Structure 1
Amino acid sequence: MSQKDGRLGIGIVGNEAAAPVIARGLAGAGHAIIGASIAEESAYERAEALLPGLQRLSEAQVIERSELVILAESAETLAERVAALTEASVWVPGQLVMHNVAEFGTGVLAPALAKGAIPLAIHPAIDVTGTSLDLTRLREGWCAVTAPRPVLPIAQALVVELGAEPVVIAEEDRGTYAEAITTATSFTRSIVKQATALLAGIGVDAPGFVLSSLVRSAADNALIDASPTPEPPFGEG
């Protein structure tokens, strides 16, 4: 597989759950999975469930053999991992290097860029579980995309291959984007937990199922209200 024919060899470095989901989605679009360097055993087992037969390799082997490297790191560990890999001189000029952290654009990948790598920041705007359920949710969702302008179409094309819709977020706006994601996620969890506890307190069995349709419809209605249909131009309709 090569970038010349549009097919990429994909490698994963790190333990975070979103990367194997993205790799599995791209494999479904015809890309090849090269292998993964995953230290935590539970994280590797989770990744292998999505990617049967996943080859376990060293960081250097994954990066050397891959045209697209997905850094499966958290916001707290990403910069440190990029620095360590750069210090080890493992980057291959011309390869794509992607991270999935909401808070950061491509600035955090500057050391890899300096060595000739092409930086991409793609964050799936879903509550990631690390399971095949995420693949369905991706096809109904959006991914935040940040990349240098010349390669932005590559990042957008990868998102489309996942079945999701790309939304471009400027480098300087990633912090605000991340705050919006965190607010929506934490608020939803908190409210659902509070509501289900109230129902459980009066003896309702499986309160989560009882509230599921209500919560989904209320959220859908709120999202529709937040994204009104544009009015037609003057003189039409």
Structure 2
Amino acid sequence: MERIGLIGAGRAGTAVGAALAAAGYPLVAVSARSSASRDRAARLLPHVPVLTPDEVTGRADVVLVAVPDDAIAAVAHGLPLTTDQYVVHLSGAHGLSPLQGLAATPVALHPPMTFTGVDAVELQDVVFTATAPDAARDVVERLVKALGAQVQWVAEEERARYHAGLVHAANHLTTLLAQAFAVLEEAGVANPSATLRPLLTATLDNTLRSGHHALTGPIVRGDVDTVAAHLAGLHGRTASTYAELARATVDLVVADGRLDAGTAARFGEVLERYRTGEAPR
């Protein structure tokens, strides 16, 4: 098995490093600059020596550069890498461009998962996304398989689009829920999270299984007056977010034949008034 060296003891790096070590890969060393990183390394990688980046690199066959996105290029280009090594970053947004010109074989390997940095993370259900030259494919697939995970390959020119899809689904979901929590609290709901949990859990499960065919609610039913009443009770950014997502929902159900053109036009008239996020006058 390849020897793994970890540059940076952030949340993702320590999680992946700990998982590889648990799978039997020798994690030979980790570098950790801040006190928080050193504490995290001590907690999650207790038997791994903390060394300088140069020392970590000198001991490893695979060098994981687990640093913030904007620092990948500078950190990687400062390492004493050789042609016998692989240099791997864990960013979702970047492909191989931050690693261009290095002696080592470059790999972009992203685990689309959230990491707390507190506890070990199970990676068996994660589908890693990789971008790499053909010479690295065998090593990447072995590393991921050892974790019990899967790997998919994305072209260099599609990395930004790939990452946009993840952010839109995960980060923007948090924004949407924060808005929904606020609306429910204004309506007098004491515990929005408990109220929404069963509905959200079922909706997410159904959508992951059936895609947009899992849609239910007033737009699918053609309840224009209900949507108008919702918007009348909302304001500011939440109103415009609701309206924009409602427009996208109308498009989906028109495309699959569940909403007729006349009802879609009525929805359009109502939703257009809220495009700016301000209540109609």
Q: Cα gap change, 1:219/1:171 in structure 2, threshold over 3 Å: closer, same or farther?
A: same
Asked if the contact 1:196/1:208 (under 8 Å) is kept, the reply is: yes
- Tell me whether 172-181 or 8-17 shows the greater mean CA deviation: 8-17
CA contact (8 A) 1:96 1:120 kept: yes
1:203 deviates by: 4.9
User: Greater helix share, 1 or 2?
Assistant: 2
Partner SS for 2:101: helix
| 3-state DSSP of counterpart to 1:11 | strand
Map of 1:152 onto structure 2: 137
Question: Deviations for 1:203-224, whole angstroms, at most 9, x for unmatched residues?
Answer: 524x434433332321222222
Q: Is 1:64–1:92's contact at 8 Å kept on the other side of the alignment? A: no
What is the percentage of aligned positions where both structures have the same residue? 27
* Gap change, CA 1:80 and 1:52, over 3 Å in 2: same
2:99 corresponds to 1:109 = yes
Establish whether residue 219 from structure 1 lines up as the match of residue 213 from structure 2.
Answer: no
Q: CA deviation at 1:199?
A: 4.2
Stretches of structure 2 that go unaligned for 5 or more consecutive residues are: 214-281
- Aligned residue runs from structure 1 range 89-168, under 5 A: 90-112=80-102, 115=103, 117-132=104-119, 135-136=121-122, 138-168=123-153
Moved over 4 A (4+): none
Q: 2:28 corresponds to which residue? A: 34
Provide the residue aligned with 1:72 in structure 2. Answer: 66
CA distance in 1, matches of 2:127, 2:118: 18
- The code of the aligned residue for 2:88 comes to M
1:23, distance to aligned residue in structure 2 (A): 0.9
C-alpha distance in structure 2 between counterparts of 1:227 and 1:130, whole Å? 34
Q: Which residue of 2 aligns with 1:172?
A: 157
Superimposed CA distance per residue, residues 59-103 of structure 1 (whole angstroms, 9 cap, x where no aligned partner): 110000111111012221111212233xxxx11331121100111
TM-score normalised per structure 1: 0.81
The aligned runs of 1:173-212 (5 Å cut-off) are 173-201=158-186, 202-205=188-191, 207-212=192-197
Larger Rg: 2
TM-aligned CA distance change 1:55 to 1:104, over 3 Å: same
Q: In structure 1, the residue corresponding to 2:100 is in which secondary structure? A: helix
User: Of residues 3, 13, 29 in structure 2, which corresponds to 1:9?
Assistant: 3
* Aligned alpha-carbon RMSD (Å): 2.1
Gapped runs of 5+ residues in structure 1?
A: 1-6, 229-237
After superposition, the Cα gap between the structure-2 partners of 1:107 and 1:29, relative to the gap in structure 1 and judged at 3 Å, is same
Q: How does 1:225-236 map to 2 (within 5 A)?
A: 225-226=210-211
User: What TM-score do you get using the length of structure 2 for normalisation?
Assistant: 0.69
Richer in strand (by share): 1
1:54 corresponds to which residue? 48
Alpha-carbon spacing, 1:180–1:27, altered in 2? closer, same or farther (3 Å): same
| Aligned partner letter, 1:222 | T
* Equivalent position amino acid for 2:135 in 1: P
How far apart in 1 are the matches of 2:189 and 2:92? 39
Distance 1:20 1:227, change over 3 A: farther
Amino acid at match of 2:173: T
CA 1:213–1:132: 2 relative to 1, 3 Å: farther
More displaced 10-residue stretch of structure 1: 216-225 or 67-76: 216-225
1:162 is displaced (CA, Å) by: 1.6
